[in-house]
């Protein structure tokens, strides 16, 4: 678990937009924060407490471009909802 400067990167984009963000090519995402130089795509899903307040995000990186799609988003959102049920 790590903290990211507020309103930066894909993680904060997911929080601010209140939705899963799929980034096919992180090198084209404005303000992307590289945790690993080998990452080329990313998906970030917000995770909430039962009361609806944000807890954090589920952030998954891939060395492959275009690794994630809407099916991944759907299932990661379902998984994230199970965390605090």
Degrees (nearest 5) of the Cα angle 34, 39, 41? 105
The count of domains in the chain is 1
Domain presence at residue 54:
yes
Q: Residue 33: which CATH number?
A: 3.30.450.40
Domain presence at residue 4:
no
Does the pLDDT of residue 6 top 80, yes or no? Answer: no
- Cα dist. 15→36, 49, 65 in Å? 21, 13, 23
Q: Residue 38: count other Cβ atoms within 10 Å of its Cβ.
A: 8
Comparison of pLDDT for 3 and 78, the residue scoring more: 78
Domain presence at residue 2:
no
> What is the pLDDT at residue 63?
97
pLDDT tens-place string over residues 36-75: 889 999 999 999 998 889 999 999 999 999 999 999 999 9
Confidence of residue 85 (pLDDT cuts 50, 70, 90): low
Helix (H, G, I), strand (E, B) or coil at 61: strand
> What is the pLDDT at residue 4?
64
Domain presence at residue 3:
no
Degrees (nearest 5) of the Cα angle 73, 77, 26? 40
Domain presence at residue 55:
yes
> What is the pLDDT at residue 2?
60
Domain presence at residue 61:
yes
For residue 19, the enclosing domain spans 9-82
Domain presence at residue 29:
yes
């Amino acid at each position: 678990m790590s903290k990211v400067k507020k309103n930066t990167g894909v993680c904060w984009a997911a929080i601010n937009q209140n939705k899963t963000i799929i980034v096919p090519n992180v090198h084209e995402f404005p303000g992307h924060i590289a945790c690993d130089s080998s990452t080329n795509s990313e998906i970030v899903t917000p995770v909430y407490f039962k009361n609806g307040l944000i807890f954090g995000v589920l952030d998954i990186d891939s060395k492959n471009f275009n690794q994630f799609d809407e099916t991944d988003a759907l299932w990661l959102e379902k998984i994230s909802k199970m965390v605090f049920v």
